[in-house]
């Protein structure tokens, strides 16, 4: 059964959601991310997706203290991304308690360096975060377009041992108008056996079940959970099926 990974996006230490990656379209849901994390934990959640949006803009993580707090005060396994552009920042995130670390901009801009990290730290600890804008990976807090296609990058990284890739269609992110089903179908067809984690556009349980049908094993949900489009009761029942 598909695994739902609730998302916590951080700006100035607060739990927020953006729409289509627009920092000016920001809604604050809580000033205490730990409380939100504990609510997800109470629903039986195993994995938590944390994105340091401040770090993504600053090119270096700025909210590692929140990661450390959540990782040390809950049972949640936290995947963490945002500003991971050096070996030191990757190591710092792991030291702060990250279960696995998401690399986006650095993977797109310096694929050789990312490949080195993948080999050094292992495919269980390093994820590729492919945030797509008009079909191409976007970098630096989604503010710029990368030079490589996702297909070229995946071919290189999978050969080096990459096991999982988070794929986000920025145009869908935070809009709750449904994920890019055709995009995931195409990628699964081109790279069979690779674990694609769907992100962006989730609006209800029907979207999640449809993703499960096309072969997605993990899905990141944010605004749909915060807005009650997916209820805590539904999340509990889904987690019981894992």
Query: How far apart are the C-alpha atoms of 217 and 228, rounded to whole Å?
Result: 22
- Catalytic residue flag (residue 173): no
9 is catalytic: yes
Q: Count structural domains, the chain.
A: 1
Q: Can you give the pLDDT at residue 87?
A: 96
Residue-level pLDDT, tens digit, the chain, 242 residues: 899 999 999 999 999 988 776 787 789 999 999 999 999 999 999 999 999 999 988 999 999 999 999 999 999 999 999 999 999 999 999 999 999 999 998 998 899 999 999 999 999 999 999 988 877 787 665 556 667 889 999 999 999 999 999 999 887 766 677 899 999 999 999 999 999 999 999 999 999 999 999 999 999 999 999 999 999 999 999 999 88
Q: Which two tokens stand for residue 133?
A: 């804008």
User: Locate tokens 């690779």: which residue?
Assistant: 194
Rounded Cα distance, 239 and 227, in Å: 19
pLDDT reported for residue 19: 76
- Write the pLDDT tens digit of every residue in 215-230: 999 999 999 999 999 9
Structure confidence at residue 173 (pLDDT)? 65
Structure tokens at 199: 């992100």
Full-prediction pTM beyond 0.75? yes
Tabulate helix, strand, coil % of the chain (nearest 5): 40, 30, 35
For the stretch 100-114, pLDDT in tens is: 999 998 998 899 999
Structural domain boundaries enclosing 212: 3-240
Across-strand partners of 7?
A: 49
DSSP state, residue 89: H
Q: How far apart are CA 91 and CA 58, in angstroms?
A: 17
109 burial level (CB within 10 Å; 0-12, 13-18, 19+): middle
Candidate list 52, 54, 131, 169, residue with the active-site label:
131
Q: Are strands 126-133 and 136-139 parallel, antiparallel or unpaired?
A: antiparallel
Q: 221 pairs with which residues across the strands? A: 6
CA proximity to 58, closest of 10, 14, 94: 10
Whether 44 and 240 have beta carbons less than 8 Å apart is answered as yes
pLDDT for the residue numbered 146: 63
Q: What is the pLDDT of residue 16?
A: 94
Q: Which two tokens stand for residue 170?
A: 């920025």
For residue 216, what are the CA distances in angstroms to 1, 8, 165, 193?
A: 9, 21, 11, 11
CA angle 167–227–64, rounded 5-degree value: 55
CB 221 within 8 A of CB 7: yes
CATH of the domain at 68: 3.20.20.70
Question: How high is the pLDDT of residue 18?
Answer: 82
> Are 138 and 132 in contact, with CB atoms under 8 Å apart?
yes
Compute the distance between CA of residue 156 and CA of residue 140 in angstroms, rounded to an integer.
Answer: 21
């Amino acid at each position: 059964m598909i695994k739902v990974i609730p998302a916590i996006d951080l700006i100035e230490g607060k739990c927020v959601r953006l729409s289509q990656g627009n920092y000016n379209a920001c809604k604050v849901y809580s000033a205490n991310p730990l409380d939100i994390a504990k609510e997800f934990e109470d629903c039986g959640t195993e994995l938590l997706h944390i994105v340091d949006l401040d770090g993504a803009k600053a090119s270096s993580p700025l909210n590692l203290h929140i990661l450390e707090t959540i990782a040390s005060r809950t049972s949640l396994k936290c995947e963490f991304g945002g500003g991971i552009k050096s070996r030191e920042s990757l190591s710092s995130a792991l030291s702060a308690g990250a279960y696995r670390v998401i690399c986006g901009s650095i993977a797109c801009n310096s694929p050789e360096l990312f490949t080195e990290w993948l080999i050094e730290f292992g495919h269980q600890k390093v994820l590729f975060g492919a945030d797509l804008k008009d079909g191409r990976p976007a970098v630096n807090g989604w503010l710029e377009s990368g030079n490589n296609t996702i297909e070229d990058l995946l071919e290189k990284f999978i050969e080096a041992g990459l096991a999982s890739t988070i794929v986000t269609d920025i145009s869908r992110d935070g809009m709750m108008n449904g994920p890019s089903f055709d995009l995931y179908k195409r990628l699964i067809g081109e790279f069979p056996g690779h674990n694609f984690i769907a992100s962006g556009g989730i609006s209800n349980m029907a979207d999640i079940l449809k993703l499960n049908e096309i072969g997605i094993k993990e899905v990141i949900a944010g605004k749909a959970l915060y807005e009650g489009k997916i209820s805590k009761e539904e999340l509990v029942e889904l987690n019981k099926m894992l």
